[in-house]
Structure 1
Amino acid sequence: MSADIMTSMVIPMLKGARMTVLLFIIAIIVSVPLGFVITLAVKSGSRALSGLAHAYIYVMRGTPLLLQLLVICFGLPMIPGVGEYLVLDRFTAACLGFILNYAAYFAEIFRGGLLAIDKGQYEASQVLGFSKRQTMTRIIMPQMFRVVLPAVSNESITLIKDTALLYAVAVPELLHFAQTAVNRDFTIVPFFIAGVIYLIMTLLLTLLFKWLERRFKFE
């Protein structure tokens, strides 16, 4: 295979990889704090708020991400009366779908992290005169972060692989350009190149989280 053909395959795929990385960054930056807010809602004293948070987590984790993307991209605009106001461009709709889906998963991760904190930590904070806000920000959250870091790492790697679902809603990401090259050149080499690019992205992400684990002395 000539260098020109390889270049014609790789360059568009790298442009698609930029779209993949952009979606990942947006989704992770928004879904992680949103997931923690949902966790706080689950643990709130309001039964209504807690029930809504539980229902949200159940629905988002219990239905396929692809179905959620299709509903946001193509279903919302079909709602009678308000559909015309819910039309989003494909990338924005995809970002919304990923954020809402992964926030539910991160919420469960954070809930597990909070449950892992010994109740004595809360009692000791009260004895020392810390407010609830100080207890959460200074005592509980730093410990919870160390506990959930491996699970967050695993979910983040899953997120970057799930970005391939953008192909189903016609967002031109890495897999889109790989499929285009396969159809154009009648070879499966672009699929292998796409696999290598995904492996590089997940490797970099894995190294980042390993550094964070060492930084916070998790190991």
Structure 2
Amino acid sequence: MDAIWANLDAIGGGLLTTVELTVLSFACALVLGTVVAVARICPVPLLRALGTGYVEIFRNVPLLMLLVLIVFALPDAGVSVSLFASVVAGVASYAAAYVCEAIRSGVNNVGVGQVEAARAVGMTFTQVLVHVVLPQAFRSMVQPLTNIFIAVALSTSLAASVGVMDLTGVTRMLNVNYAQPVPAFLCAGLCYVLITLGAGLLGGVVERRLRVGR
């Protein structure tokens, strides 16, 4: 336990980096996944094909491979991006495919009659999505999105593999310096448990409030 007490600042910094990676990656994935979901359900065949292709590609590529490609491919293409931003881009792109499917499932739960009624009063496809479909769809997919958030939090541990000093990266450094893997990784595991349990509890609160507000 000496390694833990002597490096609480480093562990706290790694934990903060993990939280930042998780929140930013999920926020970007939520935006990108919504755009892809709209493309998948829109009446334009080309956009539907592009949305489907995106989901099929990113759901079938290992996240670690995607991170390595982004970290090394962007500099080769002349794009200078920090490791932190590269990890956010990789995790967000990967998670967006799952967010898209969660949103599409939520959209399918919206009654067809409501969509037809909205179109009958002259609303466009975009207006129907923004004012009728998406608000109701998001209510029904709080739990799936919470599960994706938890998956994103756990996936950020791969950031250590490309040099980001997140919680896992700091833990690995402590293991190398102090040769105390059990306490180091137990501490990191506890931190991840706290993050995921907190996300699950918050998701449950939001879901209950939305249910009451219906």
**What TM-score, normalized by structure 2, do the two folds share?**
0.92
Match of 2:58 in 1: 60
Which amino acid in the other structure matches residue 72 of structure 1?
I
Kindly tell me: are residues 49 and 159 of structure 1, through their superposed partners in 2, closer, same or farther at Cα, counting changes over 3 Å? same
CA root-mean-square deviation: 1.8
Shift in Å, 1:150: 1.1
C-alpha contact (below 8 Å) 1:164/1:173 kept by paired residues: yes
Could you say if the C-alpha distance between residues 29 and 206 of structure 1 is closer, same or farther in structure 2, counting changes exceeding 3 Å?
Answer: same
Aligned-partner Cα distance in 1 for 2:62–2:41:
26
How many corresponding residue pairs? 212
Partner residue in 1 for 2:102? 109
Q: Residue 129 of structure 1: CA displacement?
A: 4.6
| Matching residue within 190, 196, 199 for 1:202 | 196
The 1-side partners of 2:62 and 2:165 are apart by 21
Match 1:193 to one of 187, 193, 198? 187
TM-score scaled to structure 1, two decimals?
Answer: 0.90
Q: What does 1:1-219 align with in structure 2 at a 5 Å threshold?
A: 1=1, 5-78=3-76, 83=77, 85-187=78-180, 188-217=182-211
Amino acid at match of 1:61: R
Any idea what SS the aligned residue of 1:62 has? coil
CA contact (8 A) 1:182 1:189 kept: no
Unaligned runs of 5+ in 1: none
Distance 1:40 1:92, change over 3 A: same
One-letter code aligned to 2:88: C
Q: Is the 8 A contact 1:10 1:193 kept in 2?
A: no
Please give the secondary structure, in 1, of the residue aligned with 2:6. helix
8 Å Cα contact 1:9-1:190 kept in structure 2: no
> In percent, how many aligned pairs have the same letter?
27
Distance 2:80 2:62 in 1: 21
Distance in 1 (CA, whole Å) between partners of 2:127 and 2:40 is 20
Q: In the TM superposition, what is the alpha-carbon distance from 1:138 to its structure 2 partner?
A: 2.8
Q: Which amino acid aligns with 2:207?
A: E
**Following TM superposition, by how much is the alpha carbon of 1:131 offset from its aligned partner in structure 2, in angstroms?**
4.2
The one-letter code of the counterpart of 2:188 is A
What amino acid sits opposite 2:144 in the alignment? A
CA distance in 2, matches of 1:155, 1:61: 13
CA gap of 1:70–1:8, structure 2 versus 1, over 3 A, is same
1:30 to partner: Cα distance: 1.6
